[in-house]
Amino acid sequence: MKRETIVVAMSGGVDSSAAAALLKEQGHDVIGITLQIWQESKNETKGAGCCSLGAVEDARRVASRLDIPFYVLNYRDPFQEKVIDPFIDAYKRGRTPNPCINCNRYIKFDALLNKALALGAEKLATGHYARVFYDESIGRYALAKACNSDKDQTYALYATTQQELAHMIMPLGEVASKEETRAIARRYNLLTANKPESQEICFVQDRNYTEFLAEVAPEIVAPGAIVDSSGKVRGSHEGVAFFTVGQRKRIGVTSPTPLYVLQVNAADNTVVVGSDAELFSPGCHVEDLTWVSMDRPPVGLEVACQVKVRYNMNAVPARFSRNADETVNVIFDDPVRAVTPGQAAVFYGSSPNEDLVLGGGTINRPLS
């Protein structure tokens, strides 16, 4: 393997620590960089998120142990503009965003990659579980699922462009298990080897997202009606931002049968509830598209695929076709539950290429 200068985005967790160790082991010139993107509270919890102050110090200690240069860059303003502000705006519009996608898209694989190249590095590496390679058969860089399918993170990486993939490396894409990742860290006696994973949105550490939204955007607290699918008023709510499609708990409506959130309508400040059966949709309309392991398809061409409409689901068989306005209509082979505006729809190849990420976009609305 050619020796290269590689910047590693170090989050202070075991994954990015192991990635840095592997690249150093392979003989590359490794530089560790941590982005300070959010000011944590003084009551930061154990195992806090990837942008906590404690995580920065953990990354610094790992870099010292590996004997690699280490820098901390202040990216708070770009993070506010590209991640936090759109997160708040999406909830105001009745959507349920995935902030990790925007963080990857605009912060790690845009701003940080540009910084890495400006420093003279050939590549930017991350601790993501995914594979990147140049596919001669299609003449494009491809993004594919990790060998460790349980940890695969391609859903949150679909917005990566060809130019970015050309400079990306993800060493953990070939690692078979999380335990193997931890074993790599133990081999180098890294303090992050047994560090627990954070499952929280980093900038709402120690609080739930409803409390965060009410604090940073108090105008979101706007009482309105809860109605059923026939339009009958069933109760009231404190703000549409506090609800998401598929939600059952904390609806606040008494019913002899379980009720679920079917729609969140910011335009008229209503939340629509109904039965579980009403949550299933035959397809979805998708916007803000990125094409990854395939060229942009011709308008109207129907493409067979597997699709995920949320992170923690198995991909399901579907077909999609591009519209003239650069949106896509997705039709599932079988109806899918809780298709949620604001989440991503990510397209994977059909057999035998189910591991390839074809592209993806943001769900605008479910189809009926």
Catalytic residues, by residue number, are 103, 202
Name the amino acid, one letter, at 82: K
Are the C-beta atoms of 238 and 113 separated by less than 8 Å? no
How far apart are alpha carbons 42 and 227 in whole angstroms? 41
- Residue 339 vs residues 87, 280, 342, 360: alpha-carbon distances, Å: 18, 8, 9, 15
How far apart are alpha carbons 138 and 13 in whole angstroms? 35
- Residue 218 vs residues 72, 214, 236, 252, 313: alpha-carbon distances, Å: 33, 5, 18, 21, 33
Q: Could you tell me which residues come within 8 angstroms of residue 201 by beta carbon, excluding any fewer than 6 positions away?
A: 49, 99, 209
Are the C-beta atoms of 127 and 55 separated by less than 8 Å? no
